[in-house]
Amino acid sequence: MASSLQPLATSLSPQERFQEYLQAKGLRQTEQRKFLIDEVFNQHEHFDADELIERLPRRGSPNYVSSATVYRTLREFVDAGLLKSFQLEGRTVYEHDYGYPQHDHLYCTRCQELFEFTSDELIALRDRVAADQGFRVTGHRLIIQGVCQKCSQTRRKKRKQDLV
């Protein structure tokens, strides 16, 4: 899925941040956890657990990670503040949280592409509405659904009246 955000400078790598989380919880760093954090943070993309599992080595291969371990570790990444999760069309989608700015999404309902964007105007409106209601903002998630430019152009080209 599409991404246009640039990472922010952080004092710790995702791996170091996760190690701190594990130590605080009294958990040990396993080879599977190390492999998964490298795999997840190797590229910036939105994904669900099944998409991640598809990318991983198969049973019997070196670095094999079971589906149960993937699901459990993704929850740990969220708890550690490394990933955010949200529901999109009945599936849990994950995205990088640690080291990335607050942002929102445009979602194409045809190609299912997620496009990230930041908007100072949107943040100002959010803060103004919250202040008017005496509400303290701790975060937000906005997903605007519609049809992307590419899908809009593709559909227009395929109309029968356009072929005459």
Q: Could you report the per-residue pLDDT of 101-140, keeping only the tens digit for each?
A: 889 999 999 999 999 999 999 999 999 999 999 999 998 9
- For residues 117 and 102, is the Cβ–Cβ distance under 8 A? no
With 90 as the cut, is the pLDDT of residue 164 above it? no
pLDDT digits (tens, 9 = 90+) for 4-53: 677 677 888 999 999 999 999 999 999 999 999 999 999 888 999 999 99
Binding residues for Fe cation: 104, 140
Q: Could you tell me the CA-to-CA distances from 158 to 118, 148, 149, 162 in Å, in that order?
A: 33, 16, 15, 7
Fold of 11-98: Arc Repressor Mutant, subunit A (1.10.10)
The pTM is what? 0.81
**pLDDT classification of 147: cutoffs 50, 70, 90:** very high
- Which residues belong to the annotated binding site? 104, 108, 111, 140, 148, 151
Place of tokens 């903002």: 137
Q: Which pLDDT score, from 0 to 100, does residue 1 have?
A: 46
Structure tokens at 158: 């395929």
CA distances from 16 to 2, 38, 43, 58, 83 (A): 27, 11, 17, 27, 14
Residue positions forming the annotated binding site for Zn(2+): 108, 111, 148, 151
Look up residue 113 and give its amino acid. E
Q: In the chain, count H helices and then E strands.
A: 7, 5
For the chain, domain boundaries = 11-98, 101-164
Q: Which two tokens stand for residue 70?
A: 């993937």
Task: Please tell me the predicted confidence (pLDDT) of residue 49.
Answer: 96
In the chain, where does DSSP find H-type helix?
14-25, 31-41, 49-55, 67-79, 120-132, 149-157, 160-163
Asked if 73 and 31 count as a contact pair (C-beta separation under 8 A), the reply is no
On whether the 101-164 domain is CATH 3.30.1490.190, my answer is: yes
